[in-house]
Structure 1
Amino acid sequence: MKFKLLLLSALAATSAMAFEPKEDPNAITPEGVRGGGGVGPDIFGYTGTDSNSGACTSQFIDITGTGANIITGDDAGAPVTLGAPFNFYGTVYTDLALTTNGYISTDVTDAGPDLSNDCPLPATPSTGGGARMYPLQDDLITNGGVYYEYFPVCPRPSDTFVDTLGCHVVQWDGVEHFGGGGEVFGFEAILYDLSWEIVFVQGTGNPEAGSGSTTGIQNDGATDGLTYACDTAASVPASSAQCFIHPNPDPAALPPILPVPTNNKVMLATLAGALGLIALFLMRRKAII
């Protein structure tokens, strides 16, 4: 076994949520915030990195043929029961809400209408609540669907912990920005057992590439969070990944301490013996002098 290096039925939205105005796809978005590269730690202790670092691989797991299609369409959301518990900002969750607008919420009543992206993080959501993961929050139409699948052993090995961890995969398929006229694209979130690592993997075809979206995480209450990208052109390129590391993984997620090989033990014993002889020689020489 090889090892790699250490380090949620949909409920109706309120009328206020239902009438949140759609974003103008032709609006010019001001430059925002992009941490990029390495971000954090936030107050809780999460840190983030990306595929440019070499420590966060952009391996995409396609589950459209095997996963459950949880929700599809425009400004929609639905709950899903997880295949295993997941720890997010110190709270263990067994259900999450998946939404077509590119975010995951711990509030299972979230029906997905939050179409105006929240940034920089932490930011009080314009609608809804709960702790949130934002692979790519924007005003999106998810034509193919939002899929969920749990793997006892993740097809994409963890970047920082043992490579046999299980994982939850949430995939947005057949996505286009509201207003259309652009490329259809996809992206996903991968949540790991025990290490609680969160990985966002961006597929190909997103014409905005971060210019009007949010990528990052924040806690329930919006008092703590990490912004990776916020309304910044070219900040979330195709075929890239963003990894967020939990500060307190379960010890079972860590690689075991490898025993010292037998030949190394022999070498150490030999070295210790040689040093002892040298010390004895020096002591006798000093006594003679």
Structure 2
Amino acid sequence: ETDVDCGGPTTCPRCADYAACDAATDCTTGACTMGRCGTTGCVPFPGGATDSFGYFGCSLTPTTLPCPDISTTGTALTLDDDDAVAIPIGFPFDYYGTTRTMVTLSANGGLVFDDTYLSFSNECFPLSATPYEIIAGLWTDLYPPDGGTVRYETRGAAPNRQLVVRWNVQHIDLSPSGMLSDVTVVLHESGDIDACYANTTFGDPFVDGGAAATAGISGSGTNHLQFSCNTNSLPNGLLLLYRHP
């Protein structure tokens, strides 16, 4: 085994799938692929996989997306166009060094800290205006009033609780007859973040697959980790992992 500690005791094996590894013996599965535990590997984000705070981002396309299905159990929100609502995370969640217990859930495909609004017009990171802290699952002009649902749910028991948020709504450019997004973001009590893209096809190449969206995380100042912005880089079945340092 190597000196990778995964935030836990130095006993072997000890690292869960997608944790950093240098050798197979670092991992509970006995496999280390492309520097991450497990057999699938995880491709580092293009243009830089680690930000100045230390978050690491990588992507993969697993056989089955791991994000929990809350389509029937999650709390459904009634959101108007460009609406947002503050929700409890359900546990202390560290984001860029600040412990959070509440987050603002936006109709436009993102979670925001210290703000109550996320513009319908997405931006690429770094943000041109005053930076605010955002988790961009599929930051684009989504439109809940014309069908679909936005749901959230806190699951599990300490120290492994999760906040799960799902956007299953239309894009405003194709409302009211477009296909529904199916994007889920999971905040882990460990500080890790997952984003599952079950469906990003609305029925128009100008918005399909993230062609008019931002996917990434941003803290205050210059800290940010972007996977894509306004490019068709979010195919159905994609999983993005953001690993807390």
Measured against the shorter chain, the TM-score band is 0.7 to 0.9
Deviation string 1:66-116 (CA, Å, 9 cap, x unpaired) is: 111234231110100121111111110010000110111012x4144x011
Bigger RCO (CA 8 Å, 6+ sep): 1
Distance 1:118 1:71, change over 3 A: farther
Aligned residue type for 1:152: G
- Per the normalisation by structure 1, the TM-score is 0.63
Q: Does 1:242 align with 2:240?
A: yes
> Which residue of 2 is the match for residue 174 of structure 1?
169
Aligned runs of 1:88-237 on 2, under 5 Å? 88-107=95-114, 109-112=115-118, 114-119=119-124, 121-124=125-128, 130-142=132-144, 143-153=147-157, 165-180=160-175, 181-193=177-189, 195-204=190-199, 206-207=201-202, 208-221=208-221, 223-233=222-232, 235-237=233-235
> Higher helix share goes to which structure?
1
Which runs of 5 or more structure 1 residues have no equivalent in the other structure?
Answer: 8-35, 155-163, 248-289
Partner Cα distance (2:218, 2:117) in 1? 19
Tell me, yes or no, if the aligned pair for 1:98 and 1:146 is still in contact at 8 Å: no
1:68 to 75, 96, 102: 75
Distance 1:225 1:129, change over 3 A: closer
Tell me, yes or no, if the aligned pair for 1:79 and 1:97 is still in contact at 8 Å: yes
Moved beyond 4 Å, runs of 4+ = none
Aligned residue type for 1:67: G
Distance 1:73 1:230, change over 3 A: same
SS at match of 1:136: strand
Partner Cα distance (1:188, 1:78) in 2? 17
Deviation string 1:16-62 (CA, Å, 9 cap, x unpaired) is: xxxxxxxxxxxxxxxxxxxx93122111011101124x6x9622422
Displacement of 1:219: 0.3
Aligned residue type for 1:196: G
Tell me, yes or no, if the aligned pair for 1:135 and 1:188 is still in contact at 8 Å: yes
> Higher strand share goes to which structure?
2
Deviation string 1:138-181 (CA, Å, 9 cap, x unpaired) is: 01112333211111259xxxxxxxxx822110111233343425
Aligned residue type for 1:238: N
Which runs of 5 or more structure 2 residues have no equivalent in the other structure?
Answer: 1-13, 21-41, 203-207
CA RMSD of aligned residues (A): 2.5
Partner Cα distance (2:100, 2:131) in 1? 15
- Per the normalisation by structure 2, the TM-score is 0.73
Tell me, yes or no, if the aligned pair for 2:67 and 2:186 is still in contact at 8 Å: no
